[in-house]
């Protein structure tokens, strides 16, 4: 998140559509509280919440305050951690609420009068079906028109589209009304410090910069494992699934940061251009690839963390016979000189053995020193939890032999830096206030991701990809082990 050494953001009005929802309370408000605590918000900063639910300003403020009272304790794991009352009171008095319809012009006309010529950010914390009515309303009523000293920006949460065609249509629709530099397509994974650190690790350390290629790297794994189920969001998850929810968004973002070429400059467009090229270079999946390099799974009843949990089809708002995957693993390659013949293994799933998001980069076997097989050097980037980096290297075992043993060199964020409880939205909100799109997706990045998974979506629609059951609390479908095994590799164990 931005530090106190960062400049204060310009005076801005943050308009949150869907302000009565969970995202505002759980992610946006704590992030704004942290920014306020670091004195990064202007005195003229203001939040206008808009939703259909009837609520007064005081009720809206009280609802946010109720959650904030436990936020710092939950995030820090310290029950004695207290809310910074000064920071919260500063923010709370800048919160207001309006009950209004997203489809009526009067909503936007009243909002326009209230904003005047001030800078504004419109944050769409709403289901995807509400995107178009809101952006149409903003456009039709002139709310996105910018003046010489006035900025207007819109932030859109995932999912940005449902398939390749709908992503293209949504981009074309928005770009027909707004400029690309006004559109901020958010992926909250990019707000994580550990994800942002991927580029710093690559380009800020000669040790890795010179070996970050297929000449030295044997394989790469990206894992996003969850212990939770659909958490009462069955109606959202049923038409979505793991592929749309995680792979095309979060994991492809991580993949692009690992594989992109060094950008010509540190500008947002230079970085995003290289990210787009990386995703576009993914080798298209053939029909044969789909059968051998993609595994879909769905959790059945089992035990997670010592607690019995139901199967996916027993969850609320889930069809009793459902074809939605809660697990997806895939093997892919990139058609670039840097990554020629290097396999990338991606997997994500719900109700797995543990909660863990990590990148595992396995280097090629040493070619000198000993004829005996030794462990390959492995770099593990722990994105969450226990954020940090572990590098496994070989060292000589003390004694009279030349035996080597793999040992871990470990770095933990909480040991090296003073980390405050945060949601990952701090950097994302700060950047949209100052107009920095580095951590936001451009249209071509979004469309490239959907294009690469479209063959999987088509195969699923045609019932050509089997859905494999796996017990809740396990490591996923056993058949997924075949993806790395065929190349002499194996998944890093979750536990």
Q: Is the peptide bond before 385 cis (omega within 30 degrees of 0)?
A: yes
Both ends of the chain: CA-CA distance in Å?
30
Q: Which residues are known binding-site members for NADP(+)?
A: 18-25, 52, 158
Q: Residue 371: what pLDDT?
A: 65
The 8 Å CB, 24+ separation contacts for 74-80 are 74/421, 75/30, 75/421, 75/422, 75/423, 76/421
d(CA 439, CA 1): 12
Active-site pick, 128, 139, 164, 250: 250
**Residue stretches of the annotated binding site for substrate:** 188, 192, 226, 245, 350
Token output for 459? 């195969």
Contact 485, 300 (CB under 8 A): no
pLDDT in tens, the chain (495 residues): 565 578 999 999 999 999 998 899 889 999 999 999 999 999 999 999 999 999 999 999 998 988 887 776 555 555 556 788 899 999 999 999 999 999 999 999 999 999 999 999 999 999 888 999 999 999 999 999 998 889 999 999 888 999 999 999 999 999 999 999 999 999 999 988 899 999 999 999 998 988 999 999 999 999 999 999 998 889 999 999 999 999 999 999 999 999 999 999 999 999 999 999 999 999 999 999 999 999 999 999 999 999 999 999 999 999 999 999 999 999 999 999 999 999 999 999 999 999 999 999 999 988 776 667 788 999 999 998 889 999 999 888 898 787 888 899 999 888 888 766 678 899 999 999 999 999 999 999 999 999 999 999 999 999 999 999 999 999 999 999 999 999 999 999 999
The 10s digit of each residue's pLDDT in 308-334 is 999 999 999 999 999 999 999 999 999
Q: Which residues are annotated as a binding site?
A: 18-25, 52, 158, 188, 192, 226, 245, 350
CB 217 within 8 A of CB 363: yes
Measure the CA–CA gap between 20 and 57, rounded to whole angstroms.
12
For residue range 88-129, list pLDDT tens digits in order.
Answer: 999 999 999 999 999 999 999 999 999 999 999 999 999 888
Contacts 24+ apart (CB under 8 A), 311-314: 311/472, 312/229, 312/230, 312/350, 312/351
250 is a catalytic site residue: yes
pTM over 0.85: yes
Provide the pairing of β-strand 356-363 with 378-384.
antiparallel
CA–CA distance, 288 with 290 (Å, rounded to integer): 5
Q: In what order do the strands lie in the sheet with 152-156?
A: 95-99, 46-51, 13-17, 120-124, 152-156, 183-185
Q: Using N-to-C axis directions, what is the helix angle for 268-280 and 252-259, rounded to 10°?
A: 100
Mind listing the domains of the chain with CATH numbers? 13-157 (3.40.50.720), 190-419+443-485 (3.30.360.10)
């Amino acid at each position: 998140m931005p530090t106190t050494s960062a400049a204060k953001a310009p005076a801005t009005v943050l308009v949150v559509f869907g302000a009565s929802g969970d995202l505002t309370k759980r992610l946006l408000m704590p992030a704004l509280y942290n920014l306020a605590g670091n004195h990064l918000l202007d005195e003229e900063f203001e939040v206008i919440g808009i939703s259909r639910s009837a609520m007064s300003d005081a009720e809206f403020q009280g609802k946010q305050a109720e959650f904030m009272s436990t936020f710092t304790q939950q995030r820090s794991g310290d029950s004695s951690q207290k809310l910074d009352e000064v920071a919260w009171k500063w923010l709370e008095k800048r919160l207001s609420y309006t009950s209004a319809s997203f489809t009526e012009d009067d909503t936007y006309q009243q909002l326009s009068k209230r904003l005047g010529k001030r800078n504004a950010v419109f944050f769409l914390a709403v289901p995807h079906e509400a995107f178009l009515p809101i952006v149409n309303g903003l456009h039709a009523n002139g709310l996105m028109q910018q003046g010489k000293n006035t900025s207007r920006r819109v932030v859109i949460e995932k999912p940005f589209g449902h398939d390749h065609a709908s992503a293209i249509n949504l981009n074309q629709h928005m770009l027909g009304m707004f400029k690309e530099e006004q559109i901020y397509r958010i992926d909250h994974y990019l707000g994580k410090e550990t994800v942002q650190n991927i580029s710093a690790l690559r380009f800020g350390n000669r040790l890795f910069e010179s070996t970050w290629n297929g000449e030295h790297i044997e394989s790469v794994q990206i894992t996003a494992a969850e212990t939770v189920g659909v958490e009462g969001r069955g109606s959202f998850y049923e038409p979505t699934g793991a592929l749309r929810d995680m792979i095309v968004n979060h994991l492809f973002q991580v993949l692009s940061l690992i594989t992109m070429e060094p950008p010509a400059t540190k500008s947002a467009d230079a970085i995003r251009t290289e990210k787009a090229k990386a995703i576009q270079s993914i080798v298209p999946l053939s029909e044969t690839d789909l059968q051998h390099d993609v595994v879909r799974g769905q959790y059945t009843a089992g035990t997670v963390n010592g607690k019995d949990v139901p199967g996916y089809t027993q969850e609320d708002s889930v069809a009793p016979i459902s074809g939605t995957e809660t697990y997806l693993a895939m093997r892919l390659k990139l058609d670039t000189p840097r990554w020629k013949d290097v396999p990338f293994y991606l997997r994500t799933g719900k109700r797995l053995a543990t909660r863990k998001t990590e990148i595992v980069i396995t280097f090629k076997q040493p070619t000198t020193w000993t004829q005996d097989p030794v462990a390959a050097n492995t770099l593990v980037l722990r994105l969450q939890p226990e954020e940090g980096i572990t590098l496994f290297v070989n060292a000589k075992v003390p004694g009279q032999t030349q035996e080597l043993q793999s040992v871990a060199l470990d770095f933990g964020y909480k040991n090296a830096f003073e980390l405050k409880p945060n949601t990952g939205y701090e950097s994302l909100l700060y950047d949209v206030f100052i107009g920095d799109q580095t951590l936001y997706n451009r249209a071509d990045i979004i469309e490239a991701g959907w294009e690469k998974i479209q063959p999987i979506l088509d195969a699923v629609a045609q019932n050509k990809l089997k859905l494999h059951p796996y017990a809740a609390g396990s490591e996923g479908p056993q058949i997924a082990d075949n993806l790395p095994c065929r190349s002499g590799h194996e998944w890093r164990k979750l536990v």
